[in-house]
Chain A
Amino acid sequence: MFRALLFLTFTSTVNRLRARMRRLRQPKYLVAALFGAAYFYFFVFGGMFRAMGARRTATSFEEFMPHGTETYVPFGAGILLVLVLIGWIFGRERAALQFTEAETAFLFPAPISRRTLLHYKLLRSQLAVLFGALVLSLIFRRGAAFGGNLLIHAVGWWLILSTLNLHATASSFARERLFAAGLNRPRRIALIVVVLGALAGAWWLVSSRQPEAGLVAGQEPADLTSWLSAQLQLPPLGWVLLPFGWLVRPYLAADWPGFFRVVGPAALLLAGHYFWVMRSAVAFEEASIEQAAKTAQILDRMRRGGLTVTRTPKKKKPQPFPLAPRGWVPVAFLWKSLIGLGPWYRLRTWLVLAAAIVAVTTWLGHAPGYAVYLKVIGVLSMSFGLYLLVLGPLFLRRHMIVILDQLELTKSYPLPGWQIIVGELLTPAVVMTFVEWLFLLAVVLAGGSLGLKGQLHFLLAGGFGAAAGIALLVPPLIALMMCLPVATLLYFPSWSRPGSAQHGGIEAIGQSMILMIGYVLALLLGLLPAAVAGGLAWFITNALVGPAAAITVALPVASGLLVFEVAAAVWGLGGALERFDLSRET
């Protein structure tokens, strides 16, 4: 029977790899894969390859690890302890193993023993563990700090990840048994808190009786490291961390002799966990089926472009305004999406926030001692505002995939394509505009009342007229930037589904990078006419009237041109939507 399961694992893996390789015959995937590979080479693994090429000297090793690896063991052990505790505290009461829906459908009714299923699951998880160990070894630039070689680190990571994986399984079985014995989740958490409290108390008692390790002002950070390490090794915490330390030491070994000296306890710990899993196995089938369904649902949501893994709403949300049965249809899309966003995305919320910004900046402006906070508010608002402006539409790219998913429905509506585009863009554009206006308000009020005039000269020269001009510029600018992800979606739909099962791998990363570059180029190209027109208006008005009037005139001119561009873009996208052949993409 196990052979059949091995066959399933092996064949699935080989077929997945084959599908990926076959896909590379298509130029769009090949180019994307090359981009992705270049990215990994230059930005992720490049340093590691270069580090492998050069032999690390004792001097550089000591430079990186002045205390020797043993000092760092308690820190690693502490991290593992926290990970394990998180599992025990937040873990479910029911023992559920991660199977796919297909696995639960085919394997659970099949004549396969629970033990075999467990072995199969452990074997499958080894694929992920091995891959994780390899990636972590590469990402952490093996040897950069600890000496040794890539293989030692990879084996070290494998020991850690495998043991943690087995512990997660065994502890889920243990939690199920405890639950059956009456220890539900609240009681379990209470028990853990009591144990941790007792442990911390005992550790504090021991620590307070120890002679001071000489933590005085101006001490070197290296000594602080030794002091912290020594503190972590004090009983009883040191005893608790002991097995975790066994697991960390092979990873920190500087060479093979050192590795073999410390690998024994770690291997025993791993073997112990394996026997724990096998001996304590409980009925995991029912909870596993439930979990498989949930996982499939989450994956489906992610494939469809959900920004976050959210649950299906179970509670009715209030509507933002009554929707009249007749009128401009894109408003219906806004109404629908605002219901989904919830009660916070309402005009009153924006007004309250604006009032709060006015109140806080006014108060800080009249309190000289707090002037620095005003400056912080101004600088942070400008930074966040610009960050959101540039990258906000990119973040929404995945969310835009919803447009494709609802296309079968929306294309059957009696609406021209441009109205569907406006409808879909309206909500993110409105929300982003309001957020940007709030940042702008904070920048103007904080900068104006503090003396950021040097930094904000371009803005403050025109006073509130310029601020109003920028406020006017924001909506069409955001709308134009939002059009770009939609254009990507309609012209390169297969590149816009990053979560799709057929769309993983290095080429997906490459595609994201190409899209990012395309986005920036298209944005610059789109902004050029408005910038030229606005610049001309500024020069002319500045020569005739002066700088204050120039900025007030230039911004609306640029804004007007952007509105024209947005209208053209929406019109074009509407046509593309009408021509879009859904059947080619689904």
Chain B
Amino acid sequence: MIEVCGLTKRYGDFTAVRELSFTVRPGEVAGLVGPNGAGKTTTLRCAAGIIPPTLGSVRVAGVDLATDPVAAKRHLAFLPDEPKLFEHLTVEQHLNFVARVYGVADWRDRAGPLLAELEMDDKRGLLPGELSRGMKQKLVIACGLLHAPKVIFFDEPLTGLDPGGIRRMKETMRRLAREGAALILSSHLLSLLDEVCTHVVILKAGEKVADGPIPDIRARYAVQPDASLEDVFFRATEDPPVLEPPPGA
């Protein structure tokens, strides 16, 4: 479980995220959505302990990220949108390295099914330079999931994946949620969120506009009961109509 409480991130006078609070419980998949510059990536990075928040707290699996970052990070995985890999390590050596970092003794047993699920079983000996963009992304996912994290952050997880990879990625996310992980998913692909997420956090200009289970959000913002998440998103994030002053006022 991850609990974000009063998270604020400022850069000088500019506030990227303002007093953001939300909770994602085991088995839930929360979609973090918002227009460009809403503060999604900043939120993800703060919640994953990559950048320090200005104010507020983050608890990962009950461990405060500021008080004990090492213990908190043992339970989480951050999967960035741009795969950053060590160019001299093969696929298998990446997993070996990550295993040492997280202390995964049985990493070979875990790596097999993981690579098979991501269709990378035959790529174990390849270097990043020999992998396609999608394969690199899959390797990042494999590295992130090796230590069976309880909280997983996905930043635009479908970037670079082919249709088959996208389908398997969605299935993987659902499986991880079923197995009890809390997932936070940042994406502009609202259809993805509609399919995978159980909850949604809508941000706008650094502030939370809405937060809760998708049916509740839909009920709150949708004009029609069968409205898509896209309609809900635009209604939630659109500026309030500017009222014309009455003539002569």
Contact = CB atoms under 8 A, between A and B. Distances in A.
A and B from one complex: yes
Interface of A: 312-317, 319, 323-327, 329, 331-332, 335-336, 339-340, 405-409, 411-416, 578-579, 581-584
Chain B interface bracket (under 10, 10 to 19, 20 to 34, 35 or more): 35 or more
Contact of B42 (A331, A335, A578, A583): A583
Contacts of A584: 11
A335 B100 CA distance: 11
Contacts of B48: 412
Contacts of B127: 313-316
Contacts of B107: 325
Contacts of B71: 414
Contacts of A326: 100, 103, 105
Contacts of B173: none
Contacts of B96: 323, 325
Contact of B90 (A316, A323, A413): A316
Interface stretch (B76-84, B113-121, B210-218): B76-84
A583 B97 contact: no
Given A312-B129, A323-B96, A414-B70, 10 more contacts: A313-B129, A335-B97, A336-B93, A409-B80, A411-B51, A412-B48, A414-B102, A415-B73, A581-B52, A582-B51
Contacts, number: 103
| Nearest 6 A/B pairs, CB to CB | A340-B88, A414-B73, A312-B129, A332-B100, A414-B74, A412-B78
A313 B86 CA distance: 10
A409 B88 contact: no
A407 to B, nearest CB: 8
Contacts of A407: 50
A314 to B, nearest CB: 6
A319 B94 CA distance: 12
Nearest to A578: B69
A413 B129 CA distance: 24
B50 A415 contact: no
A312 B89 CA distance: 12
Contacts of B5: none
B133 interface: no
A339 B48 CA distance: 29
B87 interface: yes
Nearest to B80: A408
B130 interface: yes
Given A313-B88, A416-B70, A583 B45 contact: yes
Given A316-B125, A408-B50, A582-B50, A327 B100 contact: yes
Most interface-central of A408, A578, A584 (chain B CB within 10 A) = A408
Interface in B164-219: none
Given A339-B93, A578-B69, A414 B101 contact: yes
Interface in B37-72: 42, 45, 48-52, 69-72
